[in-house]
Amino acid sequence: MTRPRITVVGSVNLDLVVSTERLPEPGETLMGGSFSSHPGGKGANQALAACRLGAEVSLIAKVGRDANAEEALALLKRDGVNLSGVGVSPDQPTGVALINVAADGENQIVVAPGANAVLRPEDLPERIEGALVGQHEVPLDTLAEAVARCNGFVSLNLAPAMDTADAVLKRSDLVIVNKTEADFYGRQALLAVGGRVAITLGAEGAILFADGVEIARAAPPKVDVVDATGAGDTFTAALTVALLENQPADQALRFACAAGALAATRAGAQPALPLRHAVDALV
């Protein structure tokens, strides 16, 4: 089988993670948490996940001229993601995400975008060959230009939730949102755009629609959840890869749910991203 060719336009962060028994209430300080740092960012997570699931992946992104950049890009380099499109900002730091993870795997995330916020249309190639994966952690005008320059399959993870140009949505072959994001955009408005729309439902799985009609529904396999960070990014990458491989809709959705579930079984976003053989075995 020919490997799908994917370009990801998106964010690169260093995740600074504190694990606690539970998430704090507003204004509350919790003691006794453990600390770790991991490469992250939705764009980098999706790029690495797609690579580990068998795709040939290039990343277009921006980092700072600082020590965090090397750590943030380390696993992408090791696993063979093409980083020739990753630029360096002279005056913005590498993006950072502050993540609190509870014992049940739930999390809270605050992001300081840094160099991600200055990824500009002029940083893009003239044409994006093959498939494109994008999300909302880079400027929306840059994402819109990337969509316009893509000559293949366009997969958009509309997260974090914010207003998106109609032209971008109409050009998308696949839109992926979670249930909170679906409420923000309006489920009927998303389905009216046409094309395929996937809505993830956490532990309940996911639903896939085509032209407004439900065509597949899948539940994730039972796993021991350690950290849900990165599970949604893994789902996005997995569903995109599966559809590019021309897997039937129900099979592709089961594959994506299994990949997302596996990503939640280990701590950290990128360290937990599963390899293809592990997902195939779980499916």
Q: Which class for 148: exposed (0-12), middle (13-18), buried (19 or more C-beta within 10 A)?
A: middle
For the CA atoms of 263, 269, 272, 273, the dihedral, rounded to the nearest 10 degrees, stands at 70
Instruction: Kindly list the catalytic residues.
Output: 233
Phi, psi of 114 (to 5 degrees): 55, -125
Q: Side by side, which strands form the sheet with 5-9?
A: 82-89, 56-64, 5-9, 131-135, 154-157, 174-178, 196-200, 206-210, 213-218
CA distance linking residue 272 with residue 35, whole number of Å: 16
Nearest to 131, CA basis, from 190, 171, 104: 171
